[in-house]
Structure 1
Amino acid sequence: MRKTKFTNLTKGLLFVAALTLCFTACSKNDKEGKSQIQVALTDDPGDYKAVYIDVEDINVNYSDSEDNGWQTLPGFKKGIYNLLTLVNDKDTVLADASIASGTIKEIRLVLGNDNWVVTNSGDSIQLQTPSGQSSGIKLKINMAVSEGILYKLLLDFDVAKSVHEAGTAGKYVLNPVIRTILEAQGGSVKGVVVPAVVPSAVLLINGTDTVASTYTGVGGAYLLKGIDAGTYSLHVISTDSTLAPASVDGVSVTTGKVTVADTIRLSAK
């Protein structure tokens, strides 16, 4: 480990930022011991002008029971989404939640009744939903999520297979066909900075670029998530102006893994 040179301006800005976000830093540590998941919606296009779906809720299930064990994802964004704006690798995040680590067995997408299709002739027609979907659309996942890792669950909605005209002229039915893709978004780095009487700013740097930053919380602990695989250096600046900044090189990050960095000990200037 070596002492790191920073300009007075850089130290001053980080000092003020760290003081301002101290309480945020402490609250972030409450998420340690869990995984982070982002649920995003995207679309394979269909031959319509628009397809609106009414998303009421998103649940996850860690059990093997399809009837019990469902939990609503916190931070879920309820709303009506036009699927045809989510093509060509575009998506929208429906939830960004801290969840328990373990094996996610299923996810359930609960739709309301305000689902519509706009045909190429410009007609807006409310979509009929089969009664069997009243409890939600259940999608198999069966994938483990690890502690401290950020994941993205992509719900790929196939409009062409999901929306079709019924036997009665002018009637359209919504029978969702959705492909799920769950992937780790890089790796994570966690560690401890001491002394831990006051918060420290922690920056993960690649060359001259800061790729992630956070602040230490209780006990000087920190966690950086969603980092691309590679080798980085960690830089630390304490809010205690009597302590010198420090850094450690050669911090290796692997996708889907948590790298535990050596404890960084700050010394007096």
Structure 2
Amino acid sequence: MKKYLLILLTLSLVLLIGCDSNSENETETGQIIIRAFDAPFQGNVEHIFLNIVEVSVHKSVSETESDTLGEWIVLSDTDTTIDFLELVNGEMATLVQTDLEEGHYSQQRLLLGDSSTIVVDGNTYDLKVPSSSQSGVKCNLGFSISPDEIVEFYLDFDAERSIHQYANNDRYILQPTFRVFKSQLSGTIVGTVTDTSGTGIRNISVYAVAGDDSITTLTGESGEYMLILLAGTYDISARGYDLYADTTYQAVQLNAEEHLTDFDFIMK
């Protein structure tokens, strides 16, 4: 009997040690979310379909390490094609929403496939990615994530600066330009653009200018617009169709996670 008790006690200790060992090896995680939207493209471009094949982040050994250390962690390798011209006025596409091991990360990387296209006047053309961009578009925005923390990023695709057409040619080159920032550090400004009768006007450009930086959106079907901006001070203006706005809002202070409304324009 004593012999059996001794065996049971030994097995219990082994199981306890094993459980403790597994607990120590468990990796604690937070959650990362990456959502994308677009700054509009002026002119007769109808669609910009970007083919995204991988989203990854670079985990650092420490916050002061060089880029040669650490490792790339794939967050998503789902082959996805998104029409970025649809992602305006608050419309977003969720690229990633997944658990991520706690620690410090120095970069984000977006890898594009070879199926990106642009539609101009009803005609579809390939968007060629230069060899210099085929290793992926890297955004050097470092961040840390703690257990149970949710970190959300906005990825703003600048179509105007990203797409280039050869002169007198139907070839289009894609050199992707993105702004990446934490959603918690941003806010929104919304309003409507109408004519003197109060009817909303679509496709009017609304600008937010801070120093040398300019962010643009286009009004929707009813003249509505939304600007998603980093916290800061902006001048807000509108123009289009050879029309001029009745006002410019100067030195508008936008705080993080703030939603400002009624920044309306009447076009004359």
When normalised by structure 1's length, the TM-score is 0.53
Does the residue aligned with 2:140 lie in a helix, a strand or coil?
A: strand
3-state secondary structure, aligned to 2:142: strand
DSSP-derived class of the 2:104 partner: strand
Q: Distance in 1 between matches of 2:116 and 2:58?
A: 25
Over 3 Å counting, the alpha-carbon distance change for 1:51 and 1:132 in structure 2 is same
Match of 1:60? 57
Give the corresponding residue for 2:38.
Answer: 43
Structure with the bigger RCO (C-alpha within 8 Å, sep 6+) is: 1
Alignment CA distance shift 1:146-1:131 (3 Å)? same
Change over 3 Å in CA distance of 1:130–1:50 after alignment to 2: same
Q: 1:34 aligns with which of 26, 29, 33?
A: 29
| 2:74 aligned partner | 72
- For the structure 1 residues 80 and 67, does the alpha-carbon distance in structure 2 shift closer, same or farther, using more than 3 Å as the test? farther
Secondary structure of the residue aligned to 2:91 is: coil
Q: Which residue number in structure 1 is paired with residue 213 of structure 2?
A: none
Larger Rg: 2
Q: Name the SS for the 2:161 alignment partner.
A: helix
User: Partner of 1:149 in structure 2?
Assistant: 149
CA distance, structure 2, for counterparts of residue 158 and residue 66 of structure 1: 29
- What secondary structure does 1:132 align onto? helix
- TM-superposed deviation, 1:147: 2.0
Distance 1:57 1:184, change over 3 A: same
Aligned residues: 155
Task: Report if the CA contact (8 A) 2:27-2:101 is conserved.
Answer: no
- Structure 1 moving runs of 4+ over 4 Å: none
The residue that corresponds to 2:93 in the other structure is 92
SS in 2 for 1:35: strand
Q: 1:157 to 1:66 in 2, by over 3 A?
A: farther
Seq. identity, %:
24
Post-superposition CA distance 1:113-136 (Å, at most 9, x none): 0011111x2211101111011111
CA 1:147–1:68 in structure 2 vs 1: closer, same or farther (change >3 Å)?
A: closer
Q: Which amino acid aligns with 1:65?
A: D
Q: 1:130 to 1:104 in 2, by over 3 A?
A: same
Q: Secondary structure at the match of 2:85?
A: helix
- Code of the aligned partner of 1:147: P
Q: Give TM-score, length-normalised by structure 2.
A: 0.53
Deviation of 1:65 after TM superposition, in Å, equals: 1.9
The gaps in structure 2 that reach 5 residues or longer are 1-25, 61-65, 186-255, 257-268
SS of equivalent residue, structure 1 residue 49: strand
Q: Is the 8 A contact 1:45 1:160 kept in 2?
A: yes
